[in-house]
Structure formats: C-alpha cells, structure tokens
Amino acid sequence: MSPAGSAGIVGAIGPEGSSSPFDAQEAAGILERTRATVDPELRRAIGSLPGPLRRIARYHFGWEHADGTPATGGAGKAIRPALVLAATSALGGPQSVAVPAAAAVELVHNFTLLHDDVMDRDATRRHRPTAWSVFGDADAILAGDALQALAQRLLAEDPHPASAAAAARLAGCVVELCAGQQADTAMEKRGPGEVTLDEVLAMAEAKTGALLGCACALGGLYAGAGEEDVEALEAFGREAGLAFQLIDDVIGIWGDPRRTGKPAGADLMARKKSLPVVAALASGTPAAAELAELYGLPYEKGELERTVLAVERAGGRDWAQGQAADRMSRAMHALSRAVPDPEAAGGLLALAEFVTRRSN
C-alpha cells in the first residue's frame, strides 16, 4: 500500500539504505509530544505507590538512580502511548481524553519488562542495570505486579465511556503477553531443530505484536470508533509490531551495535532462537545443517562470523526481510481500512515507519 513503508524497511536493514529524514523527524516530534503529555499521568500513578514500590518503579522508569536521586534519560521512547494517542487522532478524537489509556498501556509494557528481565536474567535494560539486579527478584516481581494494578486502576477510574472496553481489552492483551513470554522461555529449553517457524512467529506476535495492536485499538475505542475500525487498528499495530520484531532480530545479527545498544551477534552467541535463525534452520539447505551443528553446542570464541554467514546462506536474512515487508504491507492495508484519509493516518504511519526503521 505504501511505497514509503517498504522503502523504510529496506532502508533499515540494508547497509546502503537511507531513511527519509522527514518521517523520522515527524515520528520524533510525535514521541516527544507524547512523553510531554503522558509523563505527568505516569508520574502521578507511580507517585501513588507506597514508598519502596515507588522507588523500584521510579528506578525502572529511569527517573531515579538506585539511591533515589533524580536521573534523566533512561526512560523508554513511549512508542506504545504514542500509538494510543495517534490512533485516537486518526479516528477524529481529541488526544487529551486518551491520556489515561496511553499511560495504562505504558504501565503494562513496563510491568512485562520488569518480569521478563527477572525470568530471562537480563542484567541490562536501557543501558542501566535491571531492577532485579539492583533490588532483588522479589522487589522487581512486586513492582511489576503493582504496575499492572496501576494500569487497570487508571482505566477503572476513568469516566470515559470506552474505559471498561479498554480495560477488558488490555487485560486480554496481558494474558497474550504472558502466553508469549511463556512460549519464549519454554522454547529456549528445546533443541534448535525442535522449534517450528510457525511457533516463533506466533510467539513474536504475542510478545511484541499484541501490545502494539492493543495500543492502537485502545486509541480507536477512545475516539468512539466502531468494532470494525477498532479491529483494523488492532491488526495494523499487530502487523507493524511483528515487522518491528523481524527487523529487530535482523539488526541483532547484522546491525550496528552503536545504533541498537546491544552488541551484534549477542543473540547468536546466546543461541537464541530468533526469527531469522529459525527460518534458516528450517530451510533444508546445507547451511541449515551447519547452523544446527553450531547451535547444538555452546558458543565458542571466534565462531561468530561463521554463524552469521550460515544464517545468511540458509536464507534467514532474506526471509526475515521479506516477512517484514509483507507484514508492513498488511499493516498499511489494515490502516487504510480504518483510516482511509492519508492525512489523518499520517501520525500512525510515521510511528510504524519509525519502529520498523529503528532510526532512533
């Protein structure tokens, strides 16, 4: 549907690609305005927590150092709340009414980050030590639990006529996020040949697509959109989310570590069953057999180049790029159903371009 969309994806992945500076600037502006609008609501919600939980949450959000002194710069980019507000605008609603929903989505996102980091034993998040590594597992689990509760409280206390439908939808999304994380942790315990491409795609959709889709759907609900438009917005966010994950996995193998904040190849060294890897393993090529052999044993120093090459030769990169383009095309199609006017769809488009381009 959108040539700009496809160019964006290719631009993000190919070393020769160049992103459109206008779209990137537009997205950056949207995100900045979103943070300015939603941050006070988020800070108010977090501020209502009892002392120790508040401290853990503030640290996690990047607003405080571990010792409780103020910090700056560690917060997330606010893509999900931006999608909520942009979807509300796109459907003709005033953004201001959707701020509680935007904050609720961001709280849910951060609740899952807190818990995922505990389960995955990830030591770093947004270039800082993870909450569990600073405060311990129990505190990180409890802060996550409290953020989920805060998200639901924001919606339950919101008098907007769409708030109950939004709360039900967000709760259903949380179940899907949990199922996605469950599938992810379960898959990591299985052998590299025992995981199918359908399984990892379903897992990525649940882990990444579901909340982006829910964010867009909530924005639609708060604009008073009908069921059909809400579902189309959900599909837009979900497909864009999957495109984002595919590209994220590609960048994790071939990308520039200065741009992504994590060293290229780390996923391969950890034998992660990322989307390009599983596609490569399923290709039935000689390179797939080589990759399976490498993945059957722990990473040894110096193997990285050979592993990257095996994924590439087995078609993992081409498949992921093609899938990402396909998903973005589906996303654009869904968007055009909910928001036929390209002018009105501009904000959502710019955000989708931004997340799949990672020009951040």
Q: List residues binding a copy of itself (CB under 8 A).
A: 48-50, 52-53, 111, 115, 118-119, 136-139, 141-146, 148-150, 152-153, 155-157, 163-165, 167-168, 171-172, 174-176, 178-179, 181-183, 185-186
Cβ 213 to a copy of itself shortest distance, Å: 16
Q: Which is nearer to a copy of itself, 123 or 138 (CB)?
A: 138
Q: Which is nearer to a copy of itself, 18 or 185 (CB)?
A: 185
Residue 146 near residue 57 (C-beta atoms within 8 A): yes
| 3-class SS string, the chain | CCHHHHHHHHHHHCCCCCCCHHHHHHHHHHHHHHHHHHHHHHHHHHHCCCHHHHHHHHHHCCCECCCCCECCCCCCCCHHHHHHHHHHHHCCCCHHHHHHHHHHHHHHHHHHHHHHHHHHCCCEECCEECHHHHHCHHHHHHHHHHHHHHHHHHHHCCCCCCHHHHHHHHHHHHHHHHHHHHHHHHHHCCCHHHCCHHHHHHHHHHHHHHHHHHHHHHHHHHCCCCHHHHHHHHHHHHHHHHHHHHHHHHHHHHCCHHHHCCCCCHHHHCCCCCHHHHHHHCCCCHHHHHHHHHHCCCCCCCCHHHHHHHHHHCCHHHHHHHHHHHHHHHHHHHHHHHCCCHHHHHHHHHHHHHHHHCCC
Q: Which is nearer to a copy of itself, 54 or 77 (CB)?
A: 54
Cβ 155 to a copy of itself shortest distance, Å: 8
Cβ 153 to a copy of itself shortest distance, Å: 4
Cβ 228 to a copy of itself shortest distance, Å: 20
Running DSSP on this structure, what letter comes out for residue 94?
-
Q: Which is nearer to a copy of itself, 184 or 267 (CB)?
A: 184
Cβ 100 to a copy of itself shortest distance, Å: 12
Cβ 345 to a copy of itself shortest distance, Å: 29
Secondary structure of residue 313 in the 3-state scheme:
helix
Q: Which is nearer to a copy of itself, 59 or 354 (CB)?
A: 59
Q: Which is nearer to a copy of itself, 80 or 357 (CB)?
A: 80
Q: Which is nearer to a copy of itself, 94 or 161 (CB)?
A: 161
Cβ 15 to a copy of itself shortest distance, Å: 37
Q: Which is nearer to a copy of itself, 18 or 48 (CB)?
A: 48
Amino acid at 355: V
Cβ 27 to a copy of itself shortest distance, Å: 30
